[in-house]
Copies of this chain bind each other. A is one copy, B any other.
Amino acid sequence: MDPTLDTVFAALADPTRRSILTMLLEDDMAVTDVAEPFEMSLAAISKHLTILAAAGLIAQEKRGRVKWCKLEPDALKTASVWMQGFGQFEPVNLDAFEAFLERELGEDRP
């Protein structure tokens, strides 16, 4: 909808929402299944998903009574490009990039 840098970065600032994105890296999920590993109400997760969708980070499609959530990484591009403007000072760090999948797909989930 209106994925500005504000909304994207604000959406990414919450650990629960980042965990949700990481979960969606593996597969599309229904809202209830997204909520399952978290120790908070379904309504709270529903709100988080709304925020992620408003930021353009996920898309939600209702099929039957189930609402499927899937990753929509385009919104990340805007923010990523913005950040890379500062990257000119960064040394190359492929190690960190490789460590990403290990760390995020491993530890980060509740």
Across the interface, which residues of B come within 8 angstroms of A99, CB to CB? 81
Q: Does A25 count as interface, using CB distance less than 8 angstroms?
A: yes
Across the interface, which residues of B come within 8 angstroms of A109, CB to CB? none
Complex formed: what's the CA distance from A86 to B14 in Å? 16
Is B81 touching A76 in the complex (CB atoms < 8 A)? no
Across the interface, which residues of B come within 8 angstroms of A22, CB to CB? 85
Q: Identify which of residues 37-96 in chain A touch chain B, using a CB-to-CB cut-off of 8 Å.
A: 71, 73-74, 76-93, 96
When all copies of this chain in the complex are counted, the total is: 2
Is A9 touching B13 in the complex (CB atoms < 8 A)? yes
Is A93 touching B105 in the complex (CB atoms < 8 A)? no
Is A92 touching B101 in the complex (CB atoms < 8 A)? yes
Is B71 touching A93 in the complex (CB atoms < 8 A)? no
Complex formed: what's the CA distance from A77 to B87 in Å? 7
Tell which of B5, B15, B74, B92 touches A90, judged by Cβ atoms closer than 8 Å: B74
Instruction: Apart from A6-B15, A71-B89, list 8 A-B contacts with CB within 8 A.
Output: A9-B9, A25-B89, A74-B90, A74-B93, A77-B93, A85-B104, A87-B104, A92-B105
